[in-house]
Structure 1
């Protein structure tokens, strides 16, 4: 693909993600004002933190006047998966110059990771032009939908009473199922799910996210890797031909 096609494709991918993630941005904005944030403060948090799940956890803890160190550790637990994302994308992000690489790290959220992996798997290089085009659209839309949710948040009332809070788990489930064709998907997914549910009841939220992720990684490391296609033995083929 030439530069124009990379830019266009990145913008299209970003637009699709922006539309699908709009309810979460609106949900965060509504919850933010419900916990005492102003519209400006909610928009700044979305623009600077830029992490849907961690923002929702953080805003709830802010509303309950929890100690700052607890909030930081809780957000770290939720965002632990981003360490895994950056490690998995080392072959991709390592191709970018340093400045572009740091910008790519900032834009590395869940859909950005998923689409980048899918693009590389389809033998299409995830160039920085493509990566940034997609990420910028999602980032801007996240801020805009946060403002919309914050502006109309008082009209919504309690988002949980309307069942809007279930949107985030459904969204993550959709991202996970996008990798269902990968090797050892079922055992790794089940290990992560069981570990997360067990940890939720034992140690509570948000630590169950990191525990589930760690257990999934452990199972993935123990299970055998996918079998590589073996090259045919040339001498054996020649003997059969004689």
Structure 2
């Protein structure tokens, strides 16, 4: 939760610099709990905003959530719908990774719904709250990226990858996904590199599983 504070401040400050109001960025983070797509939305923000373009880019960036939620399905299938929907709303990269790491480290390899829910709610409150703080203090402190706060976004994902590391062979889909995403970022417009990286990594994982 502490680790998301720096880049939530960055998001809030950037939103104000783009002409958004504090209430607008607070509402955006509260409704669409997915940091990567929110950075895309803020970077694309104009007055008036191109809502269709923002929606399409949000869909692309959040496409990885389809795979993440599919991985959660076996653990949620016996829960009532209201709990399933709340769990999926609170799903982000950090809460998802924390829950699976907790299950892996538990004596019975059991997924804890309430641990996942607690992590998700905590991250949600911190994310929305400190994005709002970033919007409020952004005009005072200026460009917060000068302090290196934006590096926190990358650092969090490196830590998540380390926690899921199972050896080089198992990480081949990650490597292919990374290379495909870099190529897409360099040669394709918009956020198509996210979808390209996702599909490439998934394809390699499927092939490896088929020949295992």
Q: Which TM-score applies when normalising by structure 2?
A: 0.90
Q: In structure 2, what is the equivalent of residue 50 of structure 1?
A: 33
Q: In structure 1, what is the equivalent of residue 46 of structure 2?
A: 63
3-state SS of 2:45 partner: helix
Contact 1:100 1:128 in 2 (8 A): no
Contact 2:18 2:42 in 1 (8 A): yes
Coordinate RMSD, CA, aligned: 2.1
Q: In structure 2, what is the equivalent of residue 94 of structure 1?
A: 77
Q: In structure 2, what is the equivalent of residue 192 of structure 1?
A: 177
Match of 1:116 among 90, 99, 104: 99
- The CA distance in 2 between the partners of 1:53 and 1:65, in whole Å, is 22
- The CA distance in 2 between the partners of 1:171 and 1:131, in whole Å, is 18
Aligned residues: 210
Q: In structure 2, what is the equivalent of residue 135 of structure 1?
A: 120
3-state SS of 1:185 partner: coil
Aligned pairs for 1:1-242 (under 5 A) are: 18-63=1-46, 67-122=50-105, 123-181=108-166, 184-224=169-209
Contact 2:173 2:205 in 1 (8 A): yes
What is the CA-CA distance between 1:163 and the residue it aligns to?
Answer: 4.0
CA offsets, 1:197-233, max 9 Å, x none? 0111121341101111110111111114797xxxxxx
- The CA distance in 2 between the partners of 1:186 and 1:63, in whole Å, is 39
- The CA distance in 1 between the partners of 2:15 and 2:28, in whole Å, is 10
- The CA distance in 1 between the partners of 2:10 and 2:76, in whole Å, is 31
3-state SS of 2:178 partner: helix
- The CA distance in 2 between the partners of 1:111 and 1:182, in whole Å, is 21
Q: Quick check: which has more Rg, 1 or 2?
A: 1
**Structure 2 spans left out of the alignment, 5+ residues:** none
Q: Which TM-score applies when normalising by structure 1?
A: 0.79
Q: Are residues 48 and 206 of structure 1, via their aligned partners in 2, closer, same or farther at CA, if it must alter by over 3 Å?
A: same
- The CA distance in 2 between the partners of 1:205 and 1:163, in whole Å, is 24
